[in-house]
Every structure is written in C-alpha cells, then in structure tokens.
Chain A
C-alpha cells in the first residue's frame, strides 16, 4: 500500500513536469502542427454558398465578386518541421506543404503547386498560429480554385 507521503511527492513532481512539458515541447522544434486545406471552387454561375464554409465566404466576398462558392475537398495534415504533406487538387494538380520553422507565433511554410509535373507556383509564407491564408487563381471548370490553408500548433 502506497503511503500518503509517497503520493504527495509524486503529485508535486508530476505537477512540475506537466507545467514544464509544453514549454519544453515548443522549444525542441518537435512540435506537430495541424494543417487543414480546403479546396473551393468559386464561380460566377448560379448562386450557391456552401454552408460548410460560411465564415470563409464572408471574408472572401469582401474581396471577390463570385456568386458561387462550393467546397470540393477538405484535407487534414499533421506535420512536424521539415516534413512534407501533399494534397491532391482537381485538374491533375497537387499542393505540397513543408513547415520549415516556427518563429514566435508564426510558422514558416513552403507551398508548392504543381500541375502534372510542372511547378506552377511556389511561395514561402509566415502563417499565424490559428490563422489561414487563401491561395487562388488556377482555373477549373467554369470557375477558379481557391485553397484555404489553416494551421494550428
């Protein structure tokens, strides 16, 4: 039977470890981040506002004048620094994402969009934690593709 003394010691030590652990994890660079990629088809056709992306549509409508926003895909990646994630896109395209480093409250991401085997666009961005960026422009069917990339770490 474990004595109360030993239980108290274990509790004190565990509390200290639990407090120190998140700080240590962030410092070490081994943090795993969640990256969500939403693929959206925006067009001037028949009015359609996909409820699943209602909040995002409100943001985009302040800049774009599209009448239809349709969610085509929703991919979730869990990546560590240096690891590559791939999201397949319509029209034989793919999006490659690599987190390269974390600086304060932002993660540096290298984004590459390929069509077939050809790199059509690449960028390096500093994305805020719990923030997102929208990359748009590739033509698809009667509209354009918008890629909303969100990260949390």
Chain B
C-alpha cells in the first residue's frame, strides 16, 4: 500500500483516538504521528481530557450509590433507636388508624343500641311474681291500651 501523507487534522485525531477510522486511514495517521510532534501533542491532550471525564463520571456514580446506602442505614438506625411508645403513638395518630377506629366505634355504638332496643320487651308494664299479706282479696288488672298493670287489694280492717 502506498503511504500517503496526510495533513494535520484535529477531527481525524479524535476519530483516531476513538478507533473509529477505517484501517487504511488509521495506518496513515500512525505514520503521520511519527513525523508530527504537534499532532502527537494534540493526541496527548485528547487522551488527558478523556481520562478526566471518565474519572469524574465514575466518581459521581459512586457517590450516588453511597448516598443511597447511607440514607437507608441511617433510617434503619433511627427506627431501631425510636422507643416503642413513639412508634405506638405514630400508629395511633396516623390518619388510617383514626379512620378505622372511628368506624369501629360507630359500628360498636350502633350494634349496642340495636341490641338494647331488641332487648326491650313488649308486654305489661309490670309482671306480678307473688303477693302476700292480710288481705281479703287481691285483683291484678291491665289497662286495655297501654297494658298498665294495676294491683288492687282490700285491706283487712
């Protein structure tokens, strides 16, 4: 292959550095660099800048990862250090718990009043279990409408 001389071209050097030149061009640049100190310096500069970028990028990535780890460790420590009554009070005062507690309380009130209501008996106002005394006669009556109970006794004189 005939070695053709090429002129100094910074864009070519960039492509050369990134290994994006076709093989023939790549060889021509190598030959040129042997005789061109300026291009050799330019290539060195390209290499240095590229290294700096790579180092910075890696550093940032590493730092981001470390930050996440640090955050989760600190959260864990905080949770462990928190006294149980603090955690308990956090649960009690959370909105969800308050809503559930209010609902449960309402249901309890409704069911208790319902049970009480159903426990109220129909029937006469009083049921007479027994009676004794010095009486000549005893009558037990009930008013027709309201079932009001009346006990009537005649006192012996």
Check if A137 sits within 8 Å of B155, measured CB to CB: yes
Question: Within 8 Å of chain B (Cβ to Cβ): is A142?
Answer: no
Chain A contact residues (Cβ within 8 angstroms of B): what range?
35 or more
Across-interface contacts of A137 in B (CB, < 8 A) = 152-155
Residues B82-122 near A (CB distance < 8 A): 89-90, 92-93, 98, 101, 105, 108-109, 112, 119-121
Check if A8 sits within 8 Å of B92, measured CB to CB: yes
Q: In the complex, identify which listed stretch (B32-40, B69-77, B125-133) lies at the interface while the others stay far away.
A: B125-133
Across-interface contacts of A129 in B (CB, < 8 A) = 120
Chain B: which residue is nearest A139 at the CB level? B155
Write out, one digit per residue, whether chain A residues 12-49 have a CB within 8 A of any chain B CB (1) or not (0): 10011001000100000000000000000000000000
Given contacts A9-B89, A62-B144, contact A120 B156 (CB under 8 A): yes
Across-interface contacts of A124 in B (CB, < 8 A) = 128-131
Chain B contact residues (Cβ within 8 angstroms of A): what range?
35 or more
Q: How far is the CA of A9 from the CA of B121 in the complex (A)?
A: 39
Question: Within 8 Å of chain A (Cβ to Cβ): is B145?
Answer: yes
CB < 8 Å neighbour of A8 from B98, B121, B129, B153: B98
Across-interface contacts of B145 in A (CB, < 8 A) = 62
Q: How far is the CA of A4 from the CA of B92 in the complex (A)?
A: 12
Check if B125 sits within 8 Å of A132, measured CB to CB: yes
Across-interface contacts of B153 in A (CB, < 8 A) = 120-121, 135-137
Across-interface contacts of B93 in A (CB, < 8 A) = 4-5, 8-9
Question: Within 8 Å of chain B (Cβ to Cβ): is A134?
Answer: yes
Across-interface contacts of B150 in A (CB, < 8 A) = 60, 63, 133-136
CB distance from B81 to the nearest CB of A (A): 18
Across-interface contacts of A134 in B (CB, < 8 A) = 148-151
Show 9 residue pairs from A and B whose CB-CB distance is below 8 angstroms, ordered by the A residue: A16-B101, A105-B121, A115-B155, A120-B133, A120-B155, A120-B156, A124-B128, A128-B125, A136-B153
Can you name 17 extra interface pairs (CB under 8 A) apart from A16-B101, A121-B153, A128-B123? A12-B101, A23-B112, A60-B143, A62-B144, A63-B150, A105-B120, A106-B121, A108-B129, A119-B134, A123-B129, A123-B132, A124-B129, A126-B127, A128-B125, A128-B126, A136-B151, A137-B154
* Nearest 4 Cβ contacts at the A-B interface: A131-B125, A121-B133, A133-B126, A123-B131
